[in-house]
Amino acid sequence: MKRYISLSILSVLIVFFIAAGLFYKPSTHYPFKCYGFIEYNLVLDNKEVQLNLSQDIRLYDDKTGEISFSGRVMYDNRNTVFNRKIMLTNTSRLDEDTLKFTIKKTVKSLSDNTPDDVYNLLMDEYVASQHTIQIDLIEIVSGLWVIGSPTSFIMICQAY
């Protein structure tokens, strides 16, 4: 009888640990830093907008972070410099791989000469509302992440 009870308990524990292993997904560890490149071909006022940008996501802790964009934009037969940083605060976890942030402020570099309309068009890919950004962080292999937004997957980036 004792042997039957011991085997039953052992079986339940084995099933529990196997199930936990199958459904466990590691959450984002802080500080989280990820760097990658994005290319967008969008339309603004019936004109093509081509953005070629590097993107640096830095989440310092569960309350603060920033997203930096740097690169070139081709719009209205002009080639412009795009260099902006979005300061994030009030992080909340919506599920195991989705984070929502409040936009504290956007810092525009002195070298940035891209029209704000183009910046706002890019932000339409990221924002959940006017003052919040929502991103999905999905690790596909160790150190390689897919970054998503409410509308699409944005980029693949390398953690550093």
pLDDT digits (tens, 9 = 90+) for 75-126: 999 999 999 999 999 988 999 889 999 999 999 999 999 999 999 999 988 8
pLDDT at 152 over 90: no
Burial class (CB in 10 A: 0-12, 13-18, 19+), 82: buried
Q: Which tens digit of pLDDT belongs to each residue from 113-144? A: 999 999 999 998 888 787 999 999 999 999 99
Q: Enumerate residues 6+ apart whose C-beta is below 8 A from 62.
A: 30, 91, 93
The residues spanned by each domain of the chain are 32-159
pLDDT of res. 145: 94
Report how far residue 95's alpha carbon sits from residue 154's, in angstroms, rounded to the nearest whole number.
18
Burial class (CB in 10 A: 0-12, 13-18, 19+), 106: middle
Residue 154: pLDDT band with limits 50, 70, 90: confident
Sign of the four-CA dihedral 111, 116, 117, 122: positive
On the 0-12 / 13-18 / 19+ scale of CB atoms within 10 A, 116 is exposed
